[in-house]
Amino acid sequence: MEKGKPRLSRLIAILTQLQSKRISTASELAKKHRVSVRTIYRDLRTLEQSGIPIVTEEGKGYTIMDGYILQPVMFTQEEANALITAEQLIKKNRDQSLVNYYESAITKIKATLRGSQKEKMELVSDRIQIRNNLENLKTSNYLIQLQSAIVLFQNVEIEYFSQKKEYSKEN
């Protein structure tokens, strides 16, 4: 019995993963999508029967035929917001080549977005500020929710401690 995503969602996710990696094994795909390896074999066969040129590298895994291009996938608003946040983080990197190539890549990604998503991405981009996290600690799990609230013009209440360890509450 399959416990993961609905089949169509899983097929699209598998296709996206095959496009984004050099090679993927059936066991990697099964673990990621929380289904059996046998289900992955059926899914790969379904994708092949749909005209997707999946290449099997004996003993290594699966990939999509070199040069085969599908239309871009649609990003959710949360994924688009995460990309904008990553852009702001990358811009703080000291290596200019990384900054240049990321900006080039993100421009191409932005071109695939719907008009409303582009507007919301610009809204988030104009309002986000990144400070240095010298300890590299993961201190929260709410950034995507906050970004969604920004683009939806929703009010939020935030309780936090300042850098000086002072408690604060804001609406």
β-bridge mates for residue 57, sequence order: 61
Residue 94 φ then ψ, to 5°: -80, -10
β-bridge mates for residue 167, sequence order: 161
Angle at 52 (CA atoms; ends 48, 53), nearest 5 degrees? 85
Measured distance CA(7)–CA(63) in Å, rounded:
20
What predicted TM-score, i.e. pTM, was given to this entire model?
Answer: 0.47
Angle at 76 (CA atoms; ends 71, 80), nearest 5 degrees? 90
Q: Where exactly are the structural domains of the chain?
A: 7-64, 77-170
Measured distance CA(39)–CA(27) in Å, rounded:
10
Query: For residue 2, what pLDDT is reported?
Result: 44
Task: Examine the pLDDT at 3 and tell me if it is beyond 70.
Answer: no
Give the alpha-carbon dihedral of 51, 53, 58, 63, to 10 degrees.
-120
Query: For residue 129, what pLDDT is reported?
Result: 74
Band of the pLDDT at 1, cuts 50, 70, 90? very low
Angle at 20 (CA atoms; ends 16, 23), nearest 5 degrees? 105
Query: For residue 40, what pLDDT is reported?
Result: 95
Over the stretch 132-151, which tens digit does the pLDDT of each residue have? 767 767 777 777 788 788 87
Q: Which residue would you say has higher pLDDT here, 32 or 127?
A: 32
Measured distance CA(164)–CA(84) in Å, rounded:
28
To the question of domain 7-64 being in CATH 1.10.10.10, the answer is yes
83 close to 109: Cβ distance less than 8 angstroms: yes
Band of the pLDDT at 107, cuts 50, 70, 90? confident
Over the stretch 67-103, which tens digit does the pLDDT of each residue have? 787 766 677 778 888 888 888 888 877 778 888 888 8
Work out the angle between the directed axes of helices 115-127 and 143-151 (0-180°, nearest 10).
120
Task: Examine the pLDDT at 114 and tell me if it is beyond 60.
Answer: yes
Measured distance CA(83)–CA(77) in Å, rounded:
10
Query: For residue 54, what pLDDT is reported?
Result: 94
